[in-house]
Structure 1
Amino acid sequence: MVIEISVAVMAAAVVALVIYLILSLKKVNRTLDTLDQTLNHLKPKVDEVVEETNRTLRETRQLVEEIRVKTQKTDALFDSLGQVGTSLQELSTGISRTAVQYKERLGRVVALADTGLSWIHRLRGSRSSQHKPMKVK
């Protein structure tokens, strides 16, 4: 009789376990159905996001190419401006050197003119003293 009770308890335990497994599998099946519906609902949105991302990447590539072309053009401009700056610097240096040379020459000319004027004043001074009549006291 103990064996019969043990077998009955084991049979009841197996039935309870099978019922629990069936209920668990039904819940898993409902969860998978819900997940399938969610994925089916999200698929068009994901496709839309992927398409928009592809458009954005194409536009970005175009912008990068335009920026590269414009940068190359501005590089040539800045190279030209650099050359103009170098030329202006060389011109300024040449003008400064010429100005220094002319300044020295002008200084010499002014010194000679001053000396010449001084001589002229001395000559006039000596001539005027020769032409004046002497006063007798």
Structure 2
Amino acid sequence: MWIAISLMMIAVSFLVLVIFLIISLLKWNRAVESIEKTVRQVEQQLSETLQESRSMMQEVRMLVADVREKTDWIDPLLRSLHTAGTSLQELSTGLHQQVISVRRRLGSVLSVVGAVMEWFLQRQGPRDK
């Protein structure tokens, strides 16, 4: 009889062990399915993100090319404006020096004319006679 009880306990223990293993395997199966579902969602989102990134990179390349083209077009214009500005500055400096020179000469001429007129007026004397 002890053998029968022992065999029965072994059978029950084995049955409990099998039930726990089945429950554990079912939980693992659900966890793996959940992970697979998550991985599929991440793959889909990653695929969409990559497509958007490629599209954005193409747009950025087009913008960079456009900026380069416009910069290449504007660069000679800016150089010409710089050259013109430098020339105008040199012309302005030259004109300023000429104005200073003319003022000096005109001052000298005016002082001579003033002296001549004063001398002439002194030579004529008073006219009221």
Classify the TM-score, shorter chain: 0.7 to 0.9
Larger Rg: 1
- Show the counterpart of 1:105: 105
Partner residue, 2:66: 66
Match of 1:56 in 2: 56
What is the identity percentage for the equivalent residue pairs of Structure 1 and Structure 2? 36
Q: Label 1:108 to 1:2 Cα distance change in 2 as closer, same or farther (>3 A).
A: farther
Indicate how the Cα distance of structure 1 residues 112 and 3 shifts in structure 2: closer, same or farther if over 3 A, else same: farther
Tell me how far 1:87 sits from its aligned partner: 0.9
User: Which letter maps to 2:81?
Assistant: L
Residue 113 of structure 1 aligns to which amino acid in structure 2?
V
CA 1:2 to 1:78, structure 2 compared with 1: closer, same or farther past 3 Å?
farther
Rounded Cα–Cα distance in structure 2 between residues aligned with 1:87 and 1:3: 119
- Sort the Cα spacing of 1:12 and 1:96 in 2 relative to 1 into closer, same or farther, 3 A: same
Q: Please report how far the alpha carbon of residue 62 of structure 1 lies from its aligned counterpart in structure 2 after TM superposition.
A: 0.7
2:118 matched to 1:121? no
Displacement of 1:37 in angstroms is 3.7
Equivalent residue number for residue 27 of structure 1: 27
Deviation of 1:113 after TM superposition, in Å, equals: 0.3
Paired letter, 1:89: Q
Structure 2 CA distance for partners of 1:8 and 1:76, relative to 1, 3 Å? farther
Aligned position for 2:90: 90
1:55 Cα deviation after fit: 1.3
Can you give the 5+ residue segments of structure 2 that lack an aligned partner in the other structure?
A: none
CA distance in 1, matches of 2:107, 2:80: 40
Please give the alpha-carbon distance, in whole angstroms, between the structure 2 residues aligned to 1:6 and 1:87: 115
**What RMSD, in angstroms, separates the aligned Cα atoms of the two structures?**
3.1
C-alpha distance 70-10 of structure 1, shift in aligned 2 (>3 A): farther
Give the gaps of 5 or more residues in structure 1: 133-137
Distance 1:109 1:63 in 2: 66
Cross-structure match for 1:81: 81
For the residue of structure 1 that corresponds to 2:18, the secondary structure is helix
Determine the structure 2 residue equivalent to 1:135: none
State the distance in 2 between where 1:6 and 1:71 align: 94
